[in-house]
Structure 1
């Protein structure tokens, strides 16, 4: 399925597999969590970092949907998401919330899926 936009570019979902949709769903979940947390404490500099991360996850989803350098998006997404996990640990240890733990589980699975997508599209 391809949807044409006013600018002539199109969303290219015909080449997306179940693995792609899983990655999109995982990125959507973690992106929403980061945006909600960022908005909840936007007056704090840490809130802005959450907003930034949320926007990056959504930008990556859009790039994949438009088939824009997907393989590069997968490759960059692995360390970006891994960095989210490391930063979360350093900021929150040893007081981990259930939401934080759930988000990190989502992110670990996202890293695995991105690695699979990267290797399959080589």
Structure 2
């Protein structure tokens, strides 16, 4: 079924194609990783920032699923995701103690692949709707 009622909100997934679903999966992967890391670092400011970033990805997915201003969500998602990638690189490698690419780690690698995929999907989706 393409739509379902959820406490007054209607899921509108019929218009979502493979590209959109790819972006949704990538955002969910990044959200889960951020929330998992955030819980591990909580209650430090780093942990809180991870949790907030994860909730940002989840919120964007929810907005896309209910078809609330998808184009605006795609447009906001590009800088949001870019900031995640740049901050990760800067904090871990440029200003941090780790060496790139040897110290990426499994979760970091999966997260960054998901974010690069998400970024590419968002750019394509935004260009298609312009």
Q: From 106, 111, 117, give the equivalent of 1:109.
A: 117
Partner residue, 1:53: 53
Q: Which of structure 1's runs of 4+ aligned residues deviate more than 3 A? A: none
State the distance in 1 between where 2:43 and 2:5 align.
39
Q: Does 1:99 align with 2:107?
A: yes
Unaligned runs of 5+ in 2: 94-98
Instruction: Name the structure 1 match of 2:6.
Output: 5
Give the aligned partner of residue 96 of structure 2: none
Q: What is the aligned-residue RMSD (CA, Å)?
A: 1.1
Aligned partner of 1:34 in structure 2 is 34
Classify the secondary structure of the residue corresponding to 1:2: coil
Which residue pairs with 1:119 in the alignment?
Answer: 127
Q: 1:119 to 1:39 in 2, by over 3 A?
A: same
Q: Map residues 61-100 of structure 1 onto 2, 5 A cutoff.
A: 61-93=61-93, 94=99, 95-100=103-108
Q: Give the TM-score normalised by the residue count of structure 1.
A: 0.94
* Alignment match, 2:44: 44
